[in-house]
Amino acid sequence: MFPVILGGDRKVELAKDDIEGIQDLYGGNPNGDGGLKRSRQRETNGGDEICRWRGLLLSLSLIATYIFFICF
C-alpha cells in the first residue's frame, strides 16, 4: 500500500503571494478561478518563441538519429 492524496484535499494553507508565484512558474489551474487567464497570457506572450525552439530541437534530434543509424 502507498499513501494517496485525493484531489481537492487541502493539506497546506498558502499565502496569496505564494499561490501567485507558483502560478507564474507553472501556469494556473485550468479548473480553478482566474488561473486559466494568467497561464494563457503567458502562453501568448512567449508561445511563438517556445514553438520555434521546440521545432529546432526536434529537427536536430531527428538529424542526429538519422546520422547515427547511417554511420553505425
- The pLDDT tens digits for 18-67 are 888 888 888 877 776 654 444 445 555 566 677 778 888 889 999 999 88
* Confidence at residue 1, expressed as pLDDT on a 0 to 100 scale: 65
Question: What CA–CA distance (Å, rounded) separates 47 from 10?
Answer: 32
Nearest to 23 by CA among 39, 41, 43, 1: 39
* Confidence at residue 61, expressed as pLDDT on a 0 to 100 scale: 92
Residue 39 lies in a domain: yes
Model confidence, pTM? 0.33
* Confidence at residue 36, expressed as pLDDT on a 0 to 100 scale: 43
Who wins on pLDDT, 4 or 13?
A: 13
Number of domains forming the structure of the chain: 1
Residue 48 lies in a domain: yes
Question: What CA–CA distance (Å, rounded) separates 16 from 7?
Answer: 20
HSE value, Cβ hemisphere, 13 Å, CA-based, for 48: 2
Residue 42 lies in a domain: yes
Question: What CA–CA distance (Å, rounded) separates 44 from 37?
Answer: 11
Residue 58 lies in a domain: yes
Who wins on pLDDT, 41 or 1?
A: 1
